[in-house]
Amino acid sequence: MNRLAYMINTLNDEPGRILRWNFFIGGHLSASVPVRLVERTEAGQLVWMETGAPMWRTELPKGAHLRDIAPDERPAGGYPVVPGRWPMGSALFYQPTDAAHSVLWLFGRRGKFRGWYVNLERRFHHGDDIDIADHELDINVAPDRSWQWKDEQSFAEKTGHPVYWSADEAAAIRAEGARVARLAEAGTFPFDGSWCDFRPPKTWTTPPRPTSPCRSIL
């Protein structure tokens, strides 16, 4: 988000505001989930995603995942988008301004902190929509701040495909991840222990499903 976009967005930065997190893989929508704004500053924003939130999801052949289906094997018009509910646990997302990643605080039952997750991505903000073009390669960070790469093989397999990223772009994506991993090793924000006890206000009800699926970012 550039500085002008930040100044515009601060006009609508009240905590609890419902935004929409749209997740794309290889140019196709995978999920569109309502989230609530926790905090927005010039450095970035925090949003809360609640487990079980009503959402839109891409309906795929049984047992399939969009990242495992080559773009040229997908229907020309994409797969149908159907109502669903967010099946993963609740998470607090930190989306730093002008960065190619998000950091998630993952929470389990009764709100117990389970660790961090670094999602490498290309992110676009427009209005109340947060569009995410996933970069496949991610990082798991344990509560003790030990870390490991995730999905290295599938990241390598997608490198060079025209709808994903070139070899040069892949190097930049990995460098972004390495930079964030060094923050975890140093125990600096967002891995400094802050927000690990976050609980959404009791007044925040589960946000409703958006009235329609999001538009494409392409």
Catalytic residue annotation? 150
The residues, any chain, with a CB within 8 Å of residue 218's CB and separated by 6 or more, are: 27
Cβ proximity of 127 and 22 under 8 Å: no
Using CA atoms, how far apart are residues 190 and 99, in angstroms rounded to an integer? 13
Cβ proximity of 139 and 148 under 8 Å: yes
Q: Which of 177, 113, 119 is nearest to 143 (CA)?
A: 113
Using CA atoms, how far apart are residues 215 and 131, in angstroms rounded to an integer? 9
Using CA atoms, how far apart are residues 175 and 69, in angstroms rounded to an integer? 26
